Structure formats: structure tokens, C-alpha cells
Amino acid sequence: MNEDDQSDRRKYEFKKVIEELTEYTGSGTQLVSIYVPPDRQISDIVAHVTQEHSEASNIKSKQTRTAVQDALTSIKDRLRYYDNPPENGMVLFSGAINTGGGQTDMVTRVLEKPPEPIQSFIYHCDSAFLTEPLAEMLGEKGLYGLIVLDRREANVGWLKGKRVEPVKSASSLVPGKQRKGGQSAQRFHRLRLEAIDNFYQEVAEMANDLFVPDRHDMDGVLVGGPSPTKDEFLDGEYLHHELQDLVLGKFDVSYTDESGLSDLVDAAGEALAETEVMKDKSQMNEFFKELHQGDLATYGFEPTRQNLVMGAVDRLLVSEDLREDVVTYICPNEHEEREIIDQRKNTPDHDCSECDAVVSSEDGEREDIIEHLISIAEQRGTETKFISTDFEEGEQLMNAFGGVGGILRYSTGI
Ligand SMILES: [Zn+2]
């Protein structure tokens, strides 16, 4: 079992819960969301919730007041199970959701171990649950090196998912454009260029030290600053050649302090989004190449599943939009068959195709199709790739191939 699969699976499970929570609405501001960072004391959180509970007694509408207090009580009950927040913290949701016809239903969900650490404590009370911070975490992939510089100052750091991490900075001794009296203009100019060159070398060294060890895991390098500094820096090829190859682009950024790193990420937004899609695209291009010219492509639920079970799948490709369940039926004569059904539909009875025995819906074992496939993939050391439908080939995976495909390690003829 490798870590990628683990985190893919966890992310998928999170995504499903978030989708569910996003659909809920409450009347008034009675849906409570609490984000707990890993370093917060549970006792602090309990104190905060107790405080909110007593303040809620001021809410005028009796219905909202009761609903908020019930939600807070339910959260407090859940917090009792914890001495400390789990790794990466936790998120608690509770409230009375509308179920139609003026009816409500009390819902409480605790999400442990989010894919990224919760950064700050949030207490949120609204007509909807606050899911955006979690959704942002799930959208985040990728590791990028960041460099901002002008002739006086430089900062390098990481973009990990959506989080900017400043790491090192340097400042230069490049003299201003104004020369002192008694210095020849030529000599002054030469010294200044030398100082600039030295500074670029220093910045490159700082970036090389930080990025080169991780270059194989990086998705790109972004360089920002005013013109012509960033251009001189890149054109002069000061960076290690492998980093130079990873440069996705240069971007205009006014500040070169730590805040400049965040400005750089904002400025590069479009380029970054494209890179994410490009990663999915290259998987799908490989898939289509094998489909048309090779024999290492598999698609559709059953063939892909069979190949997975054999351990023949190198990469499992699943569409991010796939929302189906798989029901496994075993008839009285031990024939095992599976049926794919819409997640919103009830489990049907099943006629065995081998012996016509009927298996009742209660005897079918129902599971989310993606979880079903990932759990086989995990046992076989197969990597899972989620493919977005934001580009043509990704849409085809969903619509033409049932949302499931794979690239094989060897041809199986299935
Ligand atoms: Zn049968």
C-alpha cells in the first residue's frame, strides 16, 4: 500500500462527505461548523462551545435558539471522545437541516485527519455548513518552487497545494544608481553590474539548495519580480539547469518580501491551473495511445476490475465525477455477479445470469464504486489517479468509458 493511494482514498472519502454537507440547508443561522487546528486544546474548544451555547440563549426565535443549542450540545458530546485533536486537526458539523415540507433532521458529522493541517480555529454559524476550507484542501495538489527578486532583495519558498511557505531570504549590496563623487562613471557601472551578477548568483544558490533535492517531486518553478530583474535572472541561466527546465513562467510582482511570494502565486494562477489539468491530460493521452496503438489500456468497470484483481493494472484512472455504487450479489449456487447502480436509487433484486436464481436486494452487498476499486488497487500496489472532467479527454473517460479505466503493466487480453 503506498501513501499516494492512502491519501487519494482519504481525499475521496472527504470529497463525498463535503458534497453531502454542501447540499444541506438550515433555516436561519443554525448550522454550526467548527474547525479545530491540531495544536488547539480540546478543553479550549469545549469552553468556546459552552460560551456560544450560553450566548445562544439571546437568540430571539425560539426555533433557531433551540436548534443552535441542540447543535452545540451534540458537538460537545462528540468532543468528549477526544483528549487531543487528531493529526491535522478535525472539523465538526452539526445542525438541523431542512428535509422538505417544513421538516428538519438533526445531522452531526466529525471529520478527522483532513488531508492538510487545519490552519486556524473557525467557529461558524450560518444557514449552510462551512465547507470551503476543506474543499480548498482537496483541490490542492502539487509542489512548486517560488522565487521573487529584485536587485535589492529576494525570497524563496514553497507552494504546497494552496499553502505558501516562505523559507529563505537574501538582500543585496548592489549600490543605487547614484554614484558617489570622484568615481568614474565607467568604473561605477562595472562595479554595479558585478554586484548585480553576484546577487543573482547568491539567489540562485539559495534556490538550488532548497529546490534541487526535491526537483523530481516538483511540478514547477515560478519566478516573480519587477522587470527587468526576473528576466535578467532567467536569461542569465543562474539556476541549476534542471530547475531552469522546471520554470513555468515569470510573472510581474511588485513586492519581493515574503508577501511577494503570495503575490507571485496569485499572478501565476492561470499557469498553475493549466499545469494541474496537464497532469490529468498526460495520463489520458497515454491511455488513448495504448487504446489505439498498444494493448495496455483497459476500461469499463468489469474489465478494469478483473485486471485490477490480477494485479495487472499499473495506474487506475477514475473520473472525479463518477457517482455510482456497485452491488455484489452471490446467488444460492455461489455465482458472484455485480451490478452498477445510481447512488440515488434503491438496491434492486437480482436475477442470476448463470442459473436464474433470484437474489433479493437485502442480500446484495452495496459499496461506492470508487471505494470498491481503490481497495483492490491498494492491495495490488496500483496507483489511483483521479481525472477531472474539465478537459475533453477527461470528459470522455466519464461519458464513453463509464468513468473507469486503467493503464496496464502487461497485456492480459481482458
Ligand atoms: Zn446463480
**Ion ligand 1: protein residues whose beta carbon lies under 5 Å:** 331, 333, 335, 352, 354-355, 357
Does residue 349 share a domain with residue 235? no
The pLDDT value recorded for residue 186 is 86
Does residue 155 share a domain with residue 113? no
295-322, pLDDT tens digit by residue? 999 999 999 999 999 999 999 999 988 9
The pLDDT value recorded for residue 173 is 78
Of 308, 286, 311, 281, residue with least CA distance to 297: 286
Task: Please give the distance, rounded to the nearest whole angstrom, from the Cα atom of residue 156 to the centre of ligand 1.
Answer: 64
Does residue 378 share a domain with residue 332? yes
Instruction: Tally the domains of the chain.
Output: 3
Q: Copy the grid coordinates of residue 364.
A: 446484495
Task: Please give the distance, rounded to the nearest whole angstrom, from the Cα atom of residue 342 to the centre of ligand 1.
Answer: 24
Alpha carbons 329 and 360: distance in angstroms, whole number: 9
Which of these three, 106, 137, 168, is where a domain ends? 137
Q: What sign does the CA torsion over 299, 302, 305, 310 have?
A: negative
Residue 335 sits in a domain whose CATH number is 3.30.1330.30
Does residue 153 share a domain with residue 40? no
Does residue 404 share a domain with residue 303? yes
Q: Which carries the bigger pLDDT value, residue 161 or residue 358?
A: 358
Does residue 109 share a domain with residue 88? yes
Task: Please give the distance, rounded to the nearest whole angstrom, from the Cα atom of residue 26 to the centre of ligand 1.
Answer: 47
Task: Please give the distance, rounded to the nearest whole angstrom, from the Cα atom of residue 402 to the centre of ligand 1.
Answer: 26
The pLDDT value recorded for residue 196 is 92
Maximum CA extent, the chain: 104
Which of these three, 244, 274, 304, is where a domain ends? 274
98-137, pLDDT tens digit by residue? 988 888 899 999 999 888 899 899 999 999 999 988 877 7
Task: Please give the distance, rounded to the nearest whole angstrom, from the Cα atom of residue 331 to the centre of ligand 1.
Answer: 5
The pLDDT value recorded for residue 245 is 94
Which of these three, 243, 274, 305, is where a domain ends? 274
Residue 148 sits in a domain whose CATH number is 3.30.420.60
The pLDDT value recorded for residue 273 is 80
CA distances from 4 to 68, 236, 308, 372, 382 (A): 39, 37, 17, 17, 10
Q: Quick check: is 97 in a domain?
A: yes
Q: Quick check: is 52 in a domain?
A: yes
Task: Please give the distance, rounded to the nearest whole angstrom, from the Cα atom of residue 362 to the centre of ligand 1.
Answer: 16
Lowest mean pLDDT among 60-64, 105-109, 263-267, 332-336: 60-64
The pLDDT value recorded for residue 141 is 65
Task: Please give the distance, rounded to the nearest whole angstrom, from the Cα atom of residue 353 to the centre of ligand 1.
Answer: 7
Average pLDDT taken over every residue of the chain: 90
Structural domain boundaries, residue 208: 143-274
137-165, pLDDT tens digit by residue? 776 567 899 999 999 999 999 998 777 89
Task: Please give the distance, rounded to the nearest whole angstrom, from the Cα atom of residue 298 to the centre of ligand 1.
Answer: 27
The pLDDT value recorded for residue 136 is 76
Does residue 396 share a domain with residue 289? yes
